[in-house]
Structure 1
Amino acid sequence: MDGSKIRCPCKRCDNNKYFHTDTVKEHLVKKGFTRNYYDWRYHYDVGASSDVAASSQAKSMDFDTTSNPYQHMVHNAWGQSSAHEPWQYVPPTYMPEPPINESQQFYNMLEASKSDLWAGCDYSELSTNARLMTMKSEHRLSQRAVDELCQFMEERLPKPNRMPNGFYQCKKQMQALDMPVLKIHCCMKGCMIYWKEDEDRTECKVCGHARFKGNGCRPFKKMYYFPLGPRLRRLYASEVTAQSMRWHAEHAQTSGEMRHPADSAAWKTFDKTHPLFASESRNVRLALSTDGFQPFGQSGSQYSVWPVILTPYNLPPWMCMKNPYMFLTVIVPGPKNPKQNIDVFLQPLIAELNDLWTEGIPAYDISRKQNFQLRAALMWTISDFPAYSMLSGWSTSGHRACPYCMEDSQAFSLNHGRKTTWFDCHRRFLNRNHRFRRDKKNFRKNITEHSGPPPFLNGEQILDHLEQFEFKRVFDEGAEINSKLSKIFGWNKRSIFWDLPYWKTNVIRHNLDVMHIEKNVFDNIFNTIMNVEGKTKDNANARRDLEELGIRPELWPYDGKYHKANFTLDKENMNLLLKWLNILRFPNGYVSNLSRCIDKKKHNLYGMKSHDCHVFMQRLLPIGLRELLPHTVWEPLTELSNFFRDLTATVIREVDMKKYSESIVVTLCKLEMIFPPSFFDSMEHLPVHLAYEALIAGPVHFGWIYPFERYMRKLKLNVKKKAAVKASICNAYLTEEASHFCTHYFESHVRCRGRDVPRNDDGGGSTHPEDMLQIFTYDTRCVGKGRTRFLLEAEYKAAHTYILLNTQEAKEFE
């Protein structure tokens, strides 16, 4: 320096920058002195000893994390207390040792959090990179768009500046938040992965297919694996989530009620079986889900990607199974469905889960300022019925499709319909003295039911069964014997999940997905009632099967024709039902616009999502069919609707689940007395076991696939480069991970997904009279020009009734 400038001791510059004295005075007036700057060693000749100098330097390097949230973020990400001094002053006579690689990344991020974007700027380099990553994630910007945005800003900012030159530089800096990803080469046919002892192989040990293309080093196929440990450790590194991760052990529970899996019998049984694991409330309970999707849509080329997602159950209900806490762990490559070979790609995950169970990983709890050994356990899996077979190894097709009844199933094949039916398979679940057991007229002719429900096999019994008949894992030698044994016993393989030492002690290992079961039941009911061509279960073959079984002679065919059934609507009633659906109006966001799903010519509903079927099944079916169907048909359909509605409540009671376990059997028997045998496929049978699963595992919305389906829709939208599907998903996921972590430290005025306001909120903070009812005090944004009109008599009565039944003010006069 030429001596005309001095170090600036303000909070922002912190003695790291040189300015003229007038500029320094201005900075001090606006921003104040740097924290703990008592010894002015930079502004006069200090005659003190080196100890004083060292003390002064250490104090000046203390971080004011309250004024800079991004320094606080760096400390949290690396599991350090914000009050901890990251380094100490070393006198210049000694040569300091270079930090290890991880520490160097920490210092680089810390320096970026302190470095101004340009001289005198109020924003740091790290905060700028964090905002760029968040914008790319939330608006799904392409990498090229981010590169051009960085170039545009760099050209217009004062020189010199620390604006990143593109997305690559931003991503490279944010990688220090410990978000690793591994690329593992796979066999072209999915026989094996080149991992551990097979890492150096050049061809598949099963089929002999080459590992690389031509003479190069490009593999034919590769999978992506995102290590789970760093993701779990980061949950305790943030003050936003660290305390919430202990909610499962600290919340107050009401006796007999379940609002979270922690209140369930499966959770409590696991704690009793593994007391050492349960003694540390910060150990993590996980659920695994997988399903496939086509990134190119139905009209594009056939390509199936199977992401494997894990989510922790330690969090409270309002955080559990939300997007920021869903960890993409494995991307199983396409283009085909892996089927039973999915275990090949789960090997790294199972190995890490075993390590997390036996040894754990060191973690730092920022809320308690404690180091501890973090361990984790997998509670169960969540999937649709075909993926249930892939994960469990039990065949979910044919006569043994039910994973509870197993070999003791009473399902049989229809001679004319050529389908497997579960007709007359539910009387065995009734009480011993129930009259339906002795009914020879409405069920299979001249047959009474005296047997009881099939025995339930626990995990140890199933594992003994698999070991007794020597079932193999799909990647073991001799796995070809599985196909021969499966025809006899119903198992396709020995699932890789049995490698987990605690898996056999789990009460529930694989959840039946209520979402798909409810949707399939609704589709069968609606298509049969509306007599939809090609989809109805009541057809000529179904009538011939009735005649062969000797039941309901009034429906038998005659001269190639047959009478209309009492459970089928005529055209007039069909039009009436569709007209009612067309004029229905729902609360904002409650369901899609059903009027767009109506096909009046074919008397059908098309394009309905699973949630639309969920709403129709539970809310609309009893109302819409009450005046259109005979009471004997409408009553059991209403009972089935009420069963699904009460089953999917956010808070369930043990007494109610025991009651529904008995009532659903009677309801299904009533339906067997109405609909033909072809109506009862495996989806109509599985509701028998749903109440039991809810009784054991807790509320079903923690065990269905709704949130994972929505998350996979998000992954599908992240595919920007069609030629690199897996890489696109991987890069987008890493960006979202960094974005979610950084948004906790954004200033309150920064808009991000975590701070989105309701779309109808005008944000005006308008005032309301004190005597106004609470339901009229919400701030909303009007659409279009306002107009005034008087309510009709029916509207006035509806509003009056709603206020009396739903407002707190009206309850005071009860």
Structure 2
Amino acid sequence: MRWYKKRDVKDGEISHPADGEQWKNFDRRYPSFAQEIRNIRLGLATDGFNPFGPTGKKTYSVWPVVIVVYNLPPSMCMKKPYMFMTDIVPGPNSIGKYINVCLRPLIDELKILWNTGVKTYDQSLKQNFTMRAAIMWTISDYLAMSMISGWSGKGKMGCQVCLGSVQGFQLKYCGKRSFYGTNRIFLESNDPLHQKSNLFDKEERRLFRGRLSGEGVKELLDGLVFPPPGKTNSKARSVGYGEEHHWTHVPIFYELPYWSSHSLRYSIDIMHTEKNVFENIFFTIVNAAKSKDHKKARADCKHFGMLPHLWIDEKGKSPKAPYSLTRKQHEEIRLAGPAYWHWIYPIERLLGKLKQKVDNKARVEGSIAERYMEEEILNICSFYFASDTIHNKVRRNEVLFDVQNSENLEVFKYPFQSVGKEGTRYMSDDERELAEEYVLLNSPEVQPYLRKYQDRVMRQRPEITPQALDRIVKSRFKTWFKQKVDKDEVEGPRFRDLLEGPILKVMTFETCQVNGYKFSTKYASGSGIVVKGNLHGNNLDYYGQLQEIIRLIYQGCNHVYLFKCIWFDSVGNDVRINKNRVITIDMTSRLKSNEIFILASQASQVYYAPSVLDPKAKIYTVVKSKSRPIDESIVAQNDIEDAFQEDRSNASTSFSLFVDFAQYGQIPFIRREEEE
């Protein structure tokens, strides 16, 4: 829960919601809450789904309400065991403006967690503390945002930013609402673009009053009167609806004391947005059946005097339209941090799991709730066992770090896992010399002495070239460094084992896991290599192909893992980067170098994709792979914290894991305030 505060933060880089402006503003406004770093920052996500599947004959909509915890590291946050379904909005139809009724128990608990907090036991520090919590924002698509924000996204006043300041109009032929030409209102009056009236609608419908703050919205809502809930008033609206505003109800989140202070209260889900925008643009560009560029759209252009170059001609033909894509940085990133912390992909995966829990089609919500509680009980109980569970299992392509050899050289202890077929062979004398030289010159503990030796040579020979310096280092550094070690002028573990070099016999592997990747010499998809290099002071990416995975054997039962590779010519013109930052490479080119080895710890993975137009062409596209997250501490199983069953409870001297839930069958639920 303290990870977000203890992590490494780079200036000017937004890698977590804590780096966003909203988190920082919240800390400044509520310093007592920010002082306890174990206080929880939450996100609330909801989306509807049909439990009977997309092909189901029955129309049904269930809306789970899920809480995510932003204190957790990326390996845990927004993962299934750590997302909590706190509520299920029942079907069969969307509940619409009456969602406040279903959110009432959750909001009551959130108010308690903010005002007084709850006593909580910190397992890592072995102490109790008062834990408080706050909702930072909600995550939903545009439809769900209309429900939870209270502002209807339908019609000519559907914009949730300007809240009715800018009104759209209805298209004559398509029948949909359009805001074309209204964005002139957002420009300053002295803006040169503001004077180009041909680019905008001729009529200025209303002055833009700016984005309202949370306090401004709350004040506006306090002045409106809404009809009471109930079926008889399901279609009733407050005075001025559709003309002055689009409020359907007062959002229940404004009962939270801090909610109106948020700059970003409702985060539009990026997943649905990018999917819908991509589909609309893509199908329009390729002129597919789902294209938005159809005859009705062209007729609307002519009716409203827009885009004359797209009007249908006298023969009934539609002129071809020039389209292009642009990049845009969203405001949400600045406020809430990187997109993957507040998109709904993990929530959608959770909804897919919930859909599988519907065993009783006649009681959908009860079936989901029952199975979900069973899983939650098992998840909690798994904390009390030291064996592998969902909470401590090794993630895909991760390798545990053995802390027992923590005093050894890094090249001897770097996490590495071989997979599949193994073999043995003997290196040639030239291979052994190249491997020994590369391991020595690239060992992290040797680097300070290597720089010291280079400085010594450059002082003696100021005119020396980088090429000559490299030759001297490769031929003489080992002798100089060995003398230092023999005279005990070097402090460090097992340098003598490193200087003795490896034996000729090596182990070979087909597949391995390292750095969060899975490399393979058997399949082309796992053999692409890229390594950061330095060519006479210039940083350069070297691209190659993995030929062999080797384990060198040193004295003292030490091992070093190397990749033997062929390298493409990155120095010449065989590796190119076009204006769109797409990297292409000539697969027939070869780099003239005898450095055929790299440390496995230095390798990153790429995939070489053949041309779609000509699969037999020698020019391939470089697609960089993304490793599994390995930026958090990874320790061996024998170094994990003791299992909970070995801890003494601070509440009682003994306890039982068996809980008889039948005894609670006749006890009515009571509110938290009444308990206290």
Q: Does 1:460 align with 2:219?
A: no
What is the rounded CA distance, in whole Å, between the counterparts of 1:776 and 1:372 in structure 2? 48
Q: How does 1:483-502 map to 2 (within 5 A)?
A: 483-488=238-243, 489-502=245-258
Match for 1:412 among 162, 169, 194?
169
Query: Aligned residue for 1:364?
Result: 121
Aligned to 2:15: 259
C-alpha separation in 2, matches of 1:472 and 1:403: 22
The structure 2 residue matched to 1:294, chosen from 47, 50, 67, is: 50
Give the aligned residue type for 1:692: E
Q: Which amino acid aligns with 1:700?
A: A
1:525 equivalent in alignment to 2:306? no
Q: Secondary structure at the match of 2:375?
A: helix
Structure 1 position 416, deviation (Å) = 2.4
**Matches of 1:352 and 1:552, distance apart in 2:** 54
**C-alpha distance in structure 2 between counterparts of 1:739 and 1:800, whole Å:** 56
1:547 to 281, 302, 322: 302
1:385 paired residue among 114, 138, 142? 142
Deviates more, 1:351-360 or 1:767-776: 767-776
Out of 321, 329, 332, the residue aligned to residue 566 of structure 1 is 321
> Which letter maps to 2:222?
E
Aligned CA distance change for structure 1 residues 413 and 252 (closer, same or farther; 3 Å): same
Per the alignment, residue 707 of structure 1 pairs with: 346
CA change 1:529–1:263 in 2 (3 A) is same
How far did 1:764 drift? Answer: 4.9
Change (3 A) 1:424 1:796: closer
**Which one of the candidate residues 133, 151, 162 is aligned to 1:394?**
151
User: Which residue is equivalent to 2:480?
Assistant: none
Provide, for residues 104-126 of structure 1, a one-character-per-residue CA deviation record: whole Å limited to 9, x for no partner: xxxxxxxxxxxxxxxxxxxxxxx
Secondary structure in 1 matching 2:271: helix
SS at match of 2:5: helix
1:654-682: CA deviation from partner (whole Å, max 9, x where unpaired): xxxxxxxxxxxxxxxxxxxxxxxxxxxxx
Which AA in structure 2 matches 1:740? N
Cα distance between partner residues in 2 of 1:702 and 1:539? 37
Judge conservation of contact 1:350–1:500 (CA < 8 Å) in 2: yes
Q: Which amino acid aligns with 1:727?
A: G
Distance of 2:163 and 2:388 partners within structure 1 = 57
Would the aligned equivalents of 2:312 and 2:319 in 1 still touch at CA under 8 Å? no
Distance 2:117 2:588 in 1: 58
CA distance in 2, matches of 1:314, 1:470: 39
Counterpart CA distance in 2 for 1:422 and 1:452 is: 15
Q: RMSD over aligned Cα, in angstroms?
A: 4.2
Alignment of 1:419-430 (within 5 A): 419-430=176-187
Match of 1:67 in 2: none
Q: Which has the higher strand share?
A: 2
In 2, the alpha carbon distance for the partners of 1:735 and 1:436 equals 61
1:810 Cα shift? 9.7
CA apart distance, 1:545: 2.0
Cα deviation code 1:383-434 (max 9, x no counterpart): 1101001001001111121111111114222222221112123344456665
Percent of counterpart pairs with the same letter? 38
1:338 paired with 2:95, answer: yes
Deviation at 1:699, TM superposition (A): 1.7
The aligned counterpart of 2:368 is 729
1:731 CA drift (Å): 2.7
The farther-off stretch of 502-511 and 450-459 is 450-459
Match of 1:469 in 2: 224
Structure 1 gap segments, 5+ residues each: 1-244, 568-632, 648-690
Distance 2:88 2:146 in 1: 19
Residue of structure 2 aligned with 1:280, choices 25, 36, 61? 36
In 2: Cα distance, 1:481 partner to 1:730 partner: 33
SS state at 2:87 partner: strand
1:797/1:556 CA distance change after superposition, 3 Å:
closer
- Matched letter for residue 715 of structure 1: L
Structure 2 residue 37 is the aligned partner of structure 1 residue 248? no
Contact 1:473 1:496 in 2 (8 A): no
Residues paired across the two proteins, number = 446
Quote the offset at 1:559 in angstroms.
Answer: 3.8
Matched position secondary structure for 1:711 = helix
Describe the shift of the 1:530–1:364 C-alpha distance in structure 2 as closer, same or farther (beyond 3 A): same
Distance verdict in 2 for CA 1:753–1:426, change over 3 Å: farther
Q: Kindly indicate whether residue 378 of structure 2 is the aligned counterpart of residue 739 of structure 1.
A: yes
User: Structure 1 residues 297 and 777, CA, compared in 2 at 3 Å: closer, same or farther?
Assistant: closer
Q: What does 1:10-21 align with in structure 2 at a 5 Å threshold?
A: none
Residues 493/433 of structure 1: CA separation in 2 closer, same or farther (3 Å cut): same
Aligned: 1:797 with 2:436: no
Q: In 1, are the aligned partners of 2:264 and 2:336 still within 8 Å (CA)?
A: yes
| Structure 2 residue identity aligned to 1:386 | L
Q: TM-score, normalised by structure 1?
A: 0.49
CA deviations 1:158-210 (Å, max 9, x no partner) are xxxxxxxxxxxxxxxxxxxxxxxxxxxxxxxxxxxxxxxxxxxxxxxxxxxxx
Separation of aligned partners in 1, 2:35 and 2:394: 36
Helix, strand or coil: the match of 2:42?
strand
**2: distance between equivalents of 1:464 and 1:800?**
68
1:504 paired residue number = 260
Contact 1:557 1:563 in 2 (8 A): yes
Give the Cα separation in 1 of the matches to 2:30 and 2:391: 41
Aligned counterparts of 1:337 and 1:708: Cα–Cα separation in 2: 18
Q: State how far apart, in whole Å, the 2-side matches of 1:749 and 1:350 are.
A: 36
Mapped to 1, the partners of 2:205 and 2:158 lie a distance apart of 23
Greater shift after overlay, 714-723 or 487-496?
Answer: 714-723
Q: Distance in 2 between matches of 1:549 and 1:404?
A: 25
Q: 1:696 aligned to 317, 323, 335, which one?
A: 335
Deviation string, structure 1 residues 421-474 (Cα, Å, up to 9, x no partner) = 121233444566655433344544xx4989986511111111111111234674
Q: Secondary structure at the match of 1:258?
A: coil
Quick one: which of 270, 276, 284 aligns to 2:26? 270
Matches of 2:423 and 2:391, distance apart in 1? 26
SS of 1:398's equivalent? Answer: coil
| Highest RCO, 1 vs 2 (Cα 8 Å, sep ≥ 6) | 1
Question: How far apart are 1:291 and its partner, in Å?
Answer: 1.0
Mapped partners of 1:435, 1:327: distance in 2: 51
Return the offset for 1:743.
4.2
C-alpha distance in structure 2 between counterparts of 1:408 and 1:381, whole Å? 24
Cα 1:477–1:435, aligned 2, differ >3 Å: closer, same or farther?
Answer: same
Q: Which residue of 1 aligns with 2:269?
A: 513
Mapped partners of 2:154, 2:390: distance in 1: 49
The runs of 5 or more residues in structure 2 that have no matched partner are 400-416, 425-431, 443-508, 528-544, 548-565, 569-573, 575-583, 605-676
Structure having the higher helix fraction is: 1
Aligned to 1:350: 107
Q: What is residue 471 of structure 2 aligned with on the other side? A: none
Q: Relative to 1, partners in 2 of residues 1:509 and 1:800: Cα closer, same or farther, differing over 3 Å? A: farther
Q: How many angstroms does 1:287 deviate by?
A: 0.9
Post-superposition CA distance 1:194-235 (Å, at most 9, x none): xxxxxxxxxxxxxxxxxxxxxxxxxxxxxxxxxxxxxxxxxx
TM-score by length of 2: 0.58
Separation (CA, whole Å) in 2 of partners of 1:732 and 1:350: 24
Distance 1:810 1:468, change over 3 A: closer
2:602 & 2:138 partners in 1: Cα distance? Answer: 45
Q: In the aligned structure 1, how far is the partner of 2:423 from the partner of 2:225? A: 73
Map of 1:119 onto structure 2: none
